[in-house]
């Protein structure tokens, strides 16, 4: 979840943690001669790493922090609120410590609402990638905000950034393997003991952030805008009184008014709420018809609605698709093979989409590694199932889950 600069090393070392992995819970992992991570499972130990998080509506089971020299993994499921005692809460809330995250929105929301930790000092790598790599925006002939659709940007995923900027197949191999398992074992991070593969996944998730930050090389002006944008990003979901977890909260686009224009440090103050994302914008973000009907949507939410209404396609990612590493595709897990051998054979061909995301709102795009919203399955409803009783499909290595509107499900295997 989080990588931090060298000044954090002394603070974490001050927590007086045992420097040994707990061999009873997971085997010690070494990369070459160096231990990749330190795994903390009781209150006498404290060092951190990655979290699997379902925002404020779920749980944080694993938290990870990486310094330049070490990755620390906190087993929050075992430690509970004590995870943040004796200094860790103060570290995460210290605005003077540079803390690198990738898409901090859900992390920040969960830490605040579940553990009263007000995350500060964040530099978000997802935003940095946009700031340093995006092409300059062309000036629009339209002056009103609600006509400037060219300013809508699609954010890149971590795995996409790793593939295009780092080219580290070892990390990609582990991430793709674990993410494939998560599609079929939704409570994978809540099971104990955690496997060495999961702990490696958690460790790499934060160990990669500093090299990724270095490869993007922000200059002084970009850093100023990144600090402002990261603070806004960190508070985007955390500040919501109520989460709805719908397509307006979860989509592949950068929210409006997060990254300041070059040379700017602020945005025009908003006084009108978007009925989609619930954020405040100046009135000229919306059309007169929207305002008169009381259903005003900001440009991003308007585009998301157009997707759900099948009126326009998604904006293509700038970096392009992320291929699967061949070794993973050729070697599916034994447990999936054994499970699949007991299942009936489905004679029909799979649909064009590949997987269904855990939040039951988005389809997983195999080619581009993005969660794409599909109106057929959600219809802007809080119900986990399609209100019309249609089926949802989840695919992985030929194995898929067919889930009906009545809550029933059936696993089938495609050869």
How confident is the model over 17-58, as pLDDT tens digits? 443 333 333 434 444 445 778 777 765 544 333 333 356 877
| pTM value > 0.75 | no
pLDDT the model gives residue 57 = 78
pLDDT band at 67 (very low <50, low <70, confident <90, very high): confident
pLDDT at 113: 95
Top-level class of domain 2-136+155-235: alpha beta
Closest CA to 260 of 95, 100, 105, 131: 131
Helix and strand element counts for the chain (H, E): 15, 16
Query: Does the pLDDT at position 158 exceed 50?
Result: yes
Query: Which residues are within 8 A (CB) of 215 and not within 5 positions of it... i.e. 6 or more apart?
Result: 165, 166
- pLDDT the model gives residue 139: 55
CA dihedral 260, 160, 278, 58 (to 10 degrees): -130
pLDDT at 360: 39
Name the residue ranges covered by the structural domains of the chain.
Answer: 2-136+155-235, 331-413
Tens digits of per-residue pLDDT, 211-233? 999 999 999 999 999 999 999 99
Beta strands at 122-124 and 272-273: parallel, antiparallel or unpaired? unpaired
Q: Which residue has the higher pLDDT, 383 or 58?
A: 58
Is the confidence at residue 69, as pLDDT, over 70? yes
CA–CA gap between residue 294 and residue 296 (Å, rounded): 6
Q: What secondary structure does DSSP assign to 123-137, as a single string?
A: EEHHHHHHHHHSPPP
How confident is the model at residue 390, as a pLDDT? 36
User: b/e per residue, 163-190, with b = 16+ CB within 10 A?
Assistant: bbbeebeebbbbbbbbebbbbbeeebbe
pLDDT band (50, 70, 90) for residue 382: very low
């Amino acid at each position: 979840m989080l990588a931090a600069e060298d000044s954090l090393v002394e603070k974490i070392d001050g927590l007086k943690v045992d420097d040994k992995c707990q061999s009873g819970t997971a085997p010690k992992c070494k990369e070459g001669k160096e231990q990749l991570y330190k795994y903390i499972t009781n209150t006498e130990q404290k060092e951190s790493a990655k979290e699997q998080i379902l925002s404020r509506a779920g749980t944080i089971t694993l938290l990870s922090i990486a310094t330049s020299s070490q990755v620390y993994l906190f087993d929050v499921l075992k430690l509970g609120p004590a995870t943040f005692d004796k200094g860790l809460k103060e570290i995460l809330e210290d605005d003077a410590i540079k803390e690198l995250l990738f898409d901090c929105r859900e992390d920040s929301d969960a830490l605040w609402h579940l553990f009263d930790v007000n995350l500060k000092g964040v530099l978000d790598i997802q935003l940095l990638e946009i700031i340093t790599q995006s092409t300059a925006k062309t000036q629009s002939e339209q002056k009103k905000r609600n006509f400037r659709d060219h300013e809508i940007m699609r954010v890149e995923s971590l795995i996409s950034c790793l593939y295009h900027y780092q080219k580290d197949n070892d990390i990609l191999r582990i991430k793709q393997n674990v993410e494939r398992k998560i599609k079929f074992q939704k409570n994978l991070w809540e099971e104990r003991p955690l496997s060495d593969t999961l702990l490696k996944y958690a460790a790499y998730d934060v160990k990669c952030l500093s090299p990724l930050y270095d490869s993007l090389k922000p200059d002084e002006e970009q850093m100023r805008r990144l600090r402002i944008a990261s603070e806004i990003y960190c508070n985007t979901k955390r500040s919501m009184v109520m989460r709805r977890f719908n397509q307006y909260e979860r989509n592949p686009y950068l929210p409006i008014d997060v990254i300041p224009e070059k040379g700017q440090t602020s945005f025009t103050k908003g006084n009108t709420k978007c009925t989609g994302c619930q954020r405040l914008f100046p009135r000229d973000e919306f059309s007169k018809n929207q305002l008169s009907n009381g259903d005003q949507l900001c440009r991003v939410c308007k585009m998301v609605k157009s997707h759900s209404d099948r009126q326009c396609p998604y904006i293509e990612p700038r970096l392009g698709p992320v291929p699967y590493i061949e070794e993973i595709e050729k070697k599916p897990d034994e447990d999936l093979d054994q499970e699949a051998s007991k299942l009936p054979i489905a004679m029909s061909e799979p649909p064009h989409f590949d997987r269904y995301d855990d939040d039951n709102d988005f389809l997983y795009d195999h080619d581009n590694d993005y969660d794409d919203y599909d109106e057929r399955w959600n219809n802007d409803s809080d119900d986990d199932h399609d209100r019309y009783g249609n089926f949802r499909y989840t695919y992985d290595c030929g194995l898929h889950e067919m889930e009906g509107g009545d809550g029933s499900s059936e696993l089938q295997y495609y050869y």
